[in-house]
Structure 1
Amino acid sequence: MPGFNVIFNGLLESRNKAILQFWECATAYLKNPPTREQLEKAIDDFITENEDTLPLLQGALDKLNNSGFFKRESRSYWMTLNKAPNMAKSEDKEMTKAGIEMMKENYKEIMGAEPYTITQK
């Protein structure tokens, strides 16, 4: 199963695969978790009915940002991301900064809030 950063990045990039990965992880603790096929069908049905993935992306990011289990990982993700330009080689600094801005913009588009406010708490 993919880790937190892989799923979080995928959600920020609005990837359907990341929605599936999130739900696989979210239901893994259940005694009889749904199969991948069952999750795929439920997600596909939801997308068909709502004609959008936005509510799924928002729900997953909300849980990752605000649940006690993942809150620290989410905060660490943004803190590390914000420090990345300082760790990049000089020739990569601008591209790194642009990538970070893109991720922040993606978050803002999905959630309607600035992501770095998460790290200021």
Structure 2
Amino acid sequence: MAFLEINGKELEAKCNFRFERLADKKYSEQDKDGNDVGGFHGIYTNLLQYSNKHLLAFWDCALDYLVKDKPKLEEIEAAIEQRIEEDGDTEKLFKEAFNAVDESGFFKKQAKNYWKNIDIYKAAGKTEEEKAEKAQQVEVLEQAYKEMKE
């Protein structure tokens, strides 16, 4: 479970419809080929790569269920910085965030489909060079996944 202390309250991350809606609204991106990458996929992939801005995006979405009492981004940032000071680095924060998404009942099927698509991506490519490059990219993601699960 992922928790963050903000203004003296311990707040739990929740992966639900509000998470997904806000992720798509604020954090959808385009990949290098110009394809739309939904908010869930962007956050999920970038948590694997220890992207600090996506850690903030995760918490922004994961606390959206609070509606009226939701902390401001600056408060979330301050709480993340406090945790980093306490923990000595960001590893625990990233693992908690990633696993909250990966193991949530809400995103379970999407996470499973993500890895199926990664396997398909690995095999795609017009040349052997392209296939080898994609296989290497997938290997990096798979290794990051294993580290998140340790």
Specify every segment of 5 or more residues in structure 1 that has no aligned partner in the other structure, as ranges.
113-121
Three-state SS of the structure 2 residue aligned to 1:49 is helix
Partner of 1:115: none
Matched, 1:105 2:132: no
Partner of 2:98: 61
Matched to 1:49, the amino acid is E
Matched, 1:92 2:130: yes
CA distance in 2, matches of 1:86, 1:95: 10
Contact 2:84/2:90 (<8 A) preserved: yes
Superposed structure 1 runs of 4+ greater than 3 Å apart: none
1:35-46 correspondence to structure 2 within 5 Å: 35-46=72-83
Q: Deviations over 1:51-104 (max 9, x none)?
A: 111111111111111111111111111110011123332241111000000011
Contact 2:55/2:94 (<8 A) preserved: yes
Going by fraction, where is strand more abundant, 1 or 2? 2
Matched, 1:70 2:103: no
Shift of 1:29: 2.1
Matched to 1:73, the amino acid is Q
Matched pairs, number:
112
CA distance in 1, matches of 2:146, 2:124: 25
CA distance in 2, matches of 1:23, 1:73: 19
CA distance in 2, matches of 1:15, 1:49: 19
Matched to 1:102, the amino acid is V
Partner of 2:87: 50
CA distance in 1, matches of 2:124, 2:99: 28
CA distance in 2, matches of 1:82, 1:22: 25
CA distance in 2, matches of 1:72, 1:29: 21
TM-score, reference length from structure 2: 0.70
Going by fraction, where is helix more abundant, 1 or 2? 1
Shift of 1:6: 0.9
Using the aligned pairs only, state the percent identity. 35
CA distance in 2, matches of 1:41, 1:96: 37
